[in-house]
Structure 1
Amino acid sequence: MARAIKKLTLDEYLAYDDATDVRYELVDGDLVEMPPESDKNNLISLYLLSQFLKFVPIQLIRHKDTELVVIGNRTRVRLPDLMILTQELLEAMAGGRATITPDMPSPILVVEVVSPGKVNEDRDYRYKRSEYAARGISEYWIVDAQKARITLLTLVDGLYEETVFQGTDIIKSATFPLLDVTVAQVLTAGQMQ
């Protein structure tokens, strides 16, 4: 008979240390190991970070290792590829652990770069979409190099409205209306030269 594995609470997750450098997300009480990102995905998120630096100070940008607590059937903790914080959120974090808890304001923008595979697609297109909407995140970008598109989700009355950009389309962001970058520029940032 299989032994039941104890579900972790948020506090137990935040205190968890297995003495490795493995990154985990917490999904409904279970630790889910997050494999290392591909170099392509890292380059894409770094390129976007460089573009956002034109509009916000580096203190308001988080890349890879800041945790975001969302609510599912149980508490979930996600590790977005890129986030843009508000000044209020930065102050709420106040130099402590890089974790955005439910009592803190939400980031204004989250970017996920989709890794290959159905599990990764489902996580970014389905689960995180509803989690980030429930968290009140104004804009959620899904960057999908495999499908050569960027899906921009804008929060309207609690639900995301979707716009898909491809090829030479300039990404039109309500949060960053002066952003002047095309899907092709973003996706080619992840290609080896």
Structure 2
Amino acid sequence: MYNFGLKLLKAMMETVLESESEAKLMTLEEFLDWVPDGYGRYELHQGVVKEMQLTGTHEQVAGEIAAELTLEIRRLQLPYFIPRQCIIKPIDSDNSGYIPDVTLINKNALENEPMWKKRSTITQGESLPLVIEVVSTNWQDDYLMKLSEYEKLGIQEYWIIDYLGLGGRRYIGNPKQPTISVYQMIDDEYMVNLFREHDRIQSAIFPELNLTAAQIFELGES
């Protein structure tokens, strides 16, 4: 009877905790009303607010690659730009929103984006030629959750810059080492190429880009 009582009490406590957790879940609209501008960086994962813990090197790598791509955009006079910040809404969720480290937006597609002008939010893959995530300690988000969501949304190209080689071996190989994974949309499905050391990055969006994996990793060290 004593053990039964403990099990019953534990089950009741878990039910209460689950109810409290569910009560705190936030919709994307509520998140957009709440998120503080310029104070930290937050994402919404299935109704739960997550603060991104970013290092200085992480921000350097993201900032420098954005600068390199901006130069390429201007050189080729492409109809793209990289916003300071934008939120990507998954295709089948009203309680998630992701903020990539680098987002390339097609200006010509923005007229079809209902949430762009007021919310800086993108809802359609056609508006996003390229999205880049720089891996932090929460590497599973980039290789699992976001990879799946960006594929479903139809984003043409997705880079994962893993400058510390943190990702799982199934994604970056064994032994683990700094790797850039470039996922490209082929027949509605992502296919991946891995780039390391002095490999030149092969991008369908920027076919003339002359950057190696090593140069990208070194961007945050200069």
Q: TM-score, normalised by structure 1?
A: 0.85
Distance 1:95 1:127, change over 3 A: same
1:15 aligned onto 2:33:
yes
Deviations for 1:79-129, whole angstroms, at most 9, x for unmatched residues?
A: 100011112234446643322135x843110000001x3xx1110111110
Tell me the secondary structure at the aligned position of residue 128 of structure 2.
coil
1:4 to 8, 12, 20: 20
Tell me the secondary structure at the aligned position of residue 26 of structure 1.
strand
Residue identity opposite 1:159 in structure 2: E
Residue identity opposite 1:151 in structure 2: S
Once the two structures are aligned, what percentage of the paired residues are identical? 32
Equivalence for 1:188:
218
Most deviating of 149-158 and 44-53: 44-53
Equivalence for 2:207:
177
Structure with higher helix content = 2
1:46 to 63, 72, 93: 63
Return the alpha-carbon distance in structure 2 between the equivalents of residues 122 and 156 of structure 1: 23
Equivalence for 1:139:
157
Structure with higher strand content = 1
Residue identity opposite 1:42 in structure 2: E
Alignment gaps of 5+ in structure 2? 1-12, 166-177
Distance 1:20 1:52, change over 3 A: closer
Distance 1:19 1:137, change over 3 A: closer
Distance 1:47 1:22, change over 3 A: closer
Return the alpha-carbon distance in structure 1 between the equivalents of residues 193 and 38 of structure 2: 40
1:79 aligned onto 2:99:
yes
Equivalence for 2:175:
none
- The CA RMSD over aligned residues, in Å, is 2.5
1:70 to 81, 84, 90: 90
1:158 to 152, 165, 188: 188
Deviations for 1:21-46, whole angstroms, at most 9, x for unmatched residues?
A: 243211111112222x2111111112
Q: TM-score, normalised by structure 2?
A: 0.75
Shift in Å, 1:55: 2.8
User: Contact 1:70 / 1:131 at 8 angstroms: preserved in 2?
Assistant: yes
Equivalence for 1:113:
134
User: Contact 1:88 / 1:105 at 8 angstroms: preserved in 2?
Assistant: no
Residue identity opposite 1:181 in structure 2: L
Distance 1:10 1:185, change over 3 A: same
Return the alpha-carbon distance in structure 2 between the equivalents of residues 164 and 73 of structure 1: 30
1:168 to 185, 198, 208: 198
Equivalence for 2:4:
none
Alignment gaps of 5+ in structure 1? none
